[in-house]
DNA sequence: CTGAAAGCGCTTACAG
DNA sequence: CTGAAAGCGCTTACAG
């Protein structure tokens, strides 16, 4: 199966390969008679010609490929959406997405080797995405090409980054709770100190302040960022005499545990207590009963932003410096479902059985 | 930043580029003195030379890239593991993985365009992965290159495929239930008819037969393959006078609903009823309480198999025909956690409250 | 054991 | 408005 090349099209159209190249690429500043153009296009489509990207890349020194370097991300549940956003944006720019994953603990050397591989293949740009929102020291290899970061910020401030705006997302979520009437809101935080932990708490506190609700640190309890941690923390919170009427869980997995704690205490969600999570993690948030009100992380959008920004950088946009020094924050939308209701009107005595007897 | 080429290495080592190419590629049937080889290697590493894959690809008519064509798969929770398996296997063969995703409903035309794009870039092989185990008609474009299918079987039997061995996985899971002492096992199936639905039921039935347990179709009830469907089906099953002592749910999401049904009936898992799922879907299976005994889908393995097989095909292996006509089945391992226990010893009266009074 | 040379399939000054 | 020719950076017969 001999593949058809530009030469075949030229011959069929009775023109030179130069002309074929010009008309097919619509080279600017090139005049070609309409009749020739038509002949060329007809010949090309008749022969089913499609240019060899390798040859073109060799000549133009650009591969039309962008590399996505991930750090264990393919194993996290969110990964798919980052990849999807990046891939679709890439397609729309006629770019191909190549993926390389290294394990988080593989170390800097592995990451540099991966970067090098992408460079050998003449990636036009590289996206570096980390599992958790954190600070990284970008491999020097990436200095050689346009690069952007997803979910991480470069300690040296040399490469543009997108980050989820956790604080605003959290603030909006808390505001929703406040709007429903809650004033005593528990917060079960993750005990590991990462930007997400800090950001979510900050947003929560900010919304409280804005609503004129006094900060009460006894309402903030932290634990493992898993269902088990959420269970323990929420159990503690809801067992108090003056238990909160709502609890904001650091993430959806913790919220799963919070549901169990509430059930064990005989508390009905959202009648007796409102629960909210963060991450909009599939399939938990939707599948749990009642379905969970939470905030979504903009993975798709960050993926798309990354390649959109990269294409600007590749085209030599002058935003580079500005972008590098000002991380882009992506909004995290609140997803309202069914785990929030108004607070109980009656002052509960410590146990919801009382309510049932009203 | 002028990048270093083979010419620079040749000059530095005082040899021809031919020689550089031979020593660096370790071309077979080529004698080069050890001293020359050493000089070349030193020069190459000193200059930080890495070959331009585009140029090499143009010359050798192979890009060293393999394409992964997915069908909405990046949006499914499992996707990451397929990509990861494929990517790691690709790395080990010095291949790069390019990903293109099309929406399931984008139609055949979109898929063909995607295949074409991969071919323009001279993908050495293409993997086509579908979201759900099903039959597909492979785009003709794929006939031009080695191709394999993940999770789907080609209606025309022309391309090799890997599929999860759902039946065996299900049989093993049911066998585990039987081993625990269960003889009345409910089965909540998905009401949509796909290979997975059929395979899981077949495996279940096979294990029952093997254990000498009479088939009782009243124990098989189907519904939506979501938590809500599992809830309804399980509620029905467990409300019967002679309720099953265990229920096998078509998937983990249905199992989530089953948990809720059991809780509502006051049935404790696994004391009063055992529940098992299928998919080992993160983060449900682990996070739910008690953690769910289920069977894992071999996504990583299928991804790795796909590229391993592709490399054999690319090298002209003669297995092609055999592989095309015999889909490869990948084992689905049972993952034991905490949702299975022995059946209740007492004959229940219809309501577990009775048990509590023993 | 080593090298000169052709050629992979394009794009792009440059000339006409 | 159109084309001849150089060249991107490699690999690979082929000759010596």
Q: How far is B4 from chain A (nearest CA, A)?
A: 11
B positions 227-256 inside 8 Å of A (CB)? 227, 231, 253, 256
**Residue B126 φ then ψ, to 5°:** -135, 135
For the residues B145-149, what does the mean pLDDT come to?
91
A positions 293-352 inside 8 Å of B (CB)? none
d(Cα B253, Cα B247) in Å, to the nearest integer?
A: 14
* Residue of A165, A146, A155, A176 lying closest to A63 (CA atoms): A146
B253 vs A contacts (CB less than 8 Å): 283, 287
Q: Is B60 on the interface with A (CB under 8 A)?
A: no
Q: Is A57 on the interface with B (CB under 8 A)?
A: yes
Say yes or no for a CB contact (<8 Å) between B99 and A76. Answer: no
Say yes or no for a CB contact (<8 Å) between B58 and A53. Answer: no
pLDDT per position as a tens digit, B222-264: 999 999 999 999 999 999 999 999 999 999 999 999 999 999 9
Say yes or no for a CB contact (<8 Å) between A101 and B88. Answer: yes
Q: How confident is the model at residue B358 (pLDDT cuts 50, 70, 90)?
A: very low
A56: left (phi over 0), alpha (psi -120 to 50) or beta: alpha
* Residue of B75, B66, B76 lying closest to B97 (CA atoms): B66
Contacts of A42 (CB under 8 A, 6+ apart): A13
* Angle at alpha carbon of residue B17, lines to B12 and B22, rounded to 5°: 110
Across the interface, which of B79, B88, B289 has its CB nearest the CB of A227? B289
Q: Which nucleotides of C are covered by protein (CB under 7 A)?
A: 1-5, 7-13
Do A154 and A161 contact (CB within 8 A), yes or no?
Answer: yes
Least confident of A100-114, B20-34, B118-132: A100-114
User: Is residue B352 scored above 60 in pLDDT?
Assistant: no
DSSP B296: B
Please give the mean pLDDT across all residues of chain B.
89
* Residue of B94, B98, B136, B91 lying closest to B117 (CA atoms): B98
Neighbouring C-beta atoms of residue B200, cutoff 10 Å: 27
Do A65 and A95 contact (CB within 8 A), yes or no?
Answer: yes
pLDDT per position as a tens digit, B41-91: 988 999 888 889 999 999 998 889 999 998 776 566 677 889 889 999 999
List the single protein residue with the shortest CA to C1' distance from D11: B59
User: Is strand D less than 7 A from the beta carbon of A17?
Assistant: yes
d(Cα A189, Cα A86) in Å, to the nearest integer?
A: 31
Do A240 and A273 contact (CB within 8 A), yes or no?
Answer: no
Q: What pLDDT is recorded for position A290?
A: 97
Do B309 and B160 contact (CB within 8 A), yes or no?
Answer: yes
Q: B273 vs A69, which has greater pLDDT? A: B273
Across the interface, which of A91, A97, A99 has its CB nearest the CB of B87? A99
Helix (H, G, I), strand (E, B) or coil at B13: helix
β-pairing verdict for A96-102 and B96-102: antiparallel
Q: Distance between the two ends of chain B, CA-based, in angstroms? A: 83
Q: B339 vs B13, which has greater pLDDT? A: B339
Say yes or no for a CB contact (<8 Å) between A98 and B97. Answer: yes
Q: Chain A to chain B, count of Cβ pairs less than 8 Å apart? A: 144
Query: Which positions 60-89 on chain A have a beta carbon less than 7 angstroms from any atom of strand D?
Result: 61
Say yes or no for a CB contact (<8 Å) between B260 and A289. Answer: yes
A80 vs B contacts (CB less than 8 Å): 73-77, 79-80
User: Is strand D less than 7 A from the beta carbon of A15?
Assistant: yes
C1' of C2 to CA of B16 (Å): 8
Q: B73 vs B287, which has greater pLDDT? A: B287
β-pairing verdict for B334-335 and B294-295: antiparallel
Nearest CA in chain A to B264: A263
d(Cα B152, Cα B8) in Å, to the nearest integer?
A: 49
Q: What pLDDT is recorded for position B142?
A: 80
Q: B133 vs B123, which has greater pLDDT? A: B123
d(Cα B143, Cα B126) in Å, to the nearest integer?
A: 10
Q: What pLDDT is recorded for position B356?
A: 45
C1' of D1 to CA of A94 (Å): 30
pLDDT per position as a tens digit, B190-199: 999 988 999 9
pLDDT per position as a tens digit, B149-192: 998 888 888 899 999 999 999 999 999 999 999 999 999 999 99
Q: What pLDDT is recorded for position B77?
A: 66
> SS3 helix, strand, coil % of chain A, rounded to 5?
45, 20, 35
**Residue B139 φ then ψ, to 5°:** -55, 135
User: Is strand D less than 7 A from the beta carbon of A31?
Assistant: yes
d(Cα A15, Cα A33) in Å, to the nearest integer?
A: 12
C1' of D13 to CA of B338 (Å): 66
Neighbouring C-beta atoms of residue A336, cutoff 10 Å: 15
* Residues by Cβ under 7 A, strand C: A 3, 5-7, 17-18, 21-22, 24-25, 27, 49, 51-52, 55-56, 58-60; B 14-19, 22, 30-33, 35-36, 55, 58-59, 61
Q: What pLDDT is recorded for position B80?
A: 80
Q: What pLDDT is recorded for position B29?
A: 80
Q: Is B106 on the interface with A (CB under 8 A)?
A: no
In angstroms, what CA-CA distances link B40 with A160, B6, B21?
A: 39, 10, 9
Contacts of B337 (CB under 8 A, 6+ apart): B285, B286, B290, B291, B292, B293, B294
* A132: enclosing H helix or E strand: strand A125-136
d(Cα A357, Cα A351) in Å, to the nearest integer?
A: 11
d(Cα A261, Cα B114) in Å, to the nearest integer?
A: 49
Do A272 and A262 contact (CB within 8 A), yes or no?
Answer: yes
Q: What pLDDT is recorded for position A149?
A: 93
**If you search the block for the tokens 């959290």, which residue do you land on?**
A170
d(Cα A156, Cα A119) in Å, to the nearest integer?
A: 21
Across the interface, which of B58, B120, B226 has its CB nearest the CB of A50? B120
Nearest CA in chain A to B231: A289
* Residue of B9, B88, B74 lying closest to B45 (CA atoms): B9
**If you search the block for the tokens 């500005």, which residue do you land on?**
A322
Structural domains of chain B in order of their starting residue, each with its CATH number? 6-51 (1.10.260.40), 65-159+300-330 (3.40.50.2300), 166-297+336-356 (3.40.50.2300)
Diameter of chain B measured on Cα atoms: 93
Do B252 and B280 contact (CB within 8 A), yes or no?
Answer: yes
Do A294 and A73 contact (CB within 8 A), yes or no?
Answer: no
C1' of C13 to CA of A47 (Å): 29
pLDDT digits (tens), chain A, 358 positions: 457 889 999 989 999 999 999 999 888 887 788 888 888 998 899 998 888 999 999 999 888 999 999 877 656 667 788 988 999 999 999 899 998 887 777 777 888 888 888 888 889 999 999 877 667 778 787 888 899 999 888 888 889 999 999 999 999 999 999 999 999 999 999 999 988 999 999 999 999 999 999 999 999 999 999 999 999 999 999 999 999 999 999 999 999 999 999 999 999 999 999 999 999 998 999 999 999 999 999 999 999 999 999 999 988 877 777 888 889 999 999 999 999 999 986 554 444 444 444 3
DSSP B232-271: HHHHHHHHSTT--SEEEESSHHHHHHHHHHHHHTTPPTTT
């Amino acid at each position: 199966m001999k593949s058809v090349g530009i030469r075949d099209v030229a011959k069929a159209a009775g023109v030179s390969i130069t002309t074929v190249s010009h008309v097919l690429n619509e080279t600017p500043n090139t005049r070609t008679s309409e009749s020739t153009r038509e002949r060329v296009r007809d010949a090309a489509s008749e022969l089913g010609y499609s240019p060899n990207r390798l040859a073109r890349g060799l000549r133009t020194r650009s591969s039309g490929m962008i590399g996505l370097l991930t750090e264990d991300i393919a194993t996290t549940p969110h990964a798919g959406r980052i990849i999807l956003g990046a891939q679709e944006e890439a397609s729309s720019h006629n770019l191909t997405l190549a993926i390389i994953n290294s394990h988080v603990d593989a170390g800097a050397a592995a990451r540099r080797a991966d970067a090098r591989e992408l460079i050998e293949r003449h990636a036009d740009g590289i996206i570096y995405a980390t599992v958790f929102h954190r600070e990284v020291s970008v491999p020097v290899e990436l200095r050689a090409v346009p690069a952007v970061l997803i979910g991480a910020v470069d300690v040296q401030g040399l490469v543009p980054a997108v980050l989820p705006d956790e604080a605003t997302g959290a603030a909006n979520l808390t505001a929703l709770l406040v709007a429903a009437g809650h004033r005593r809101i528990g917060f079960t935080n993750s005990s590991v100190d990462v930007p997400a932990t800090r950001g979510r708490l900050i947003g929560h506190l900010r919304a409280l302040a804005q609503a004129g609700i006094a900060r009460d640190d006894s309402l903030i309890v932290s634990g493992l960022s898993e269902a088990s941690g959420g269970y323990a923390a929420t159990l503690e919170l809801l067992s108090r005499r003056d238990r909160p009427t709502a609890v904001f869980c650091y993430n959806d997995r913790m919220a799963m545990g919070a549901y169990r704690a509430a059930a064990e205490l005989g508390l009905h969600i959202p009648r007796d207590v409102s629960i909210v999570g963060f991450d909009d993690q599939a399939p938990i948030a939707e599948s749990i009963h009642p379905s969970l009100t939470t905030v979504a992380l903009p993975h798709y959008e960050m993926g798309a932003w990354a390649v959109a920004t990269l294409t600007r950088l590749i085209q030599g946009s002058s935003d580079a410096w500005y972008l590098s020094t000002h991380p882009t924050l992506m909004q995290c939308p609140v997803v309202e479902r069914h785990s929030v209701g108004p607070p109980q009107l009656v002052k509960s005595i410590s146990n919801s059985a009382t309510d049932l007897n009203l």
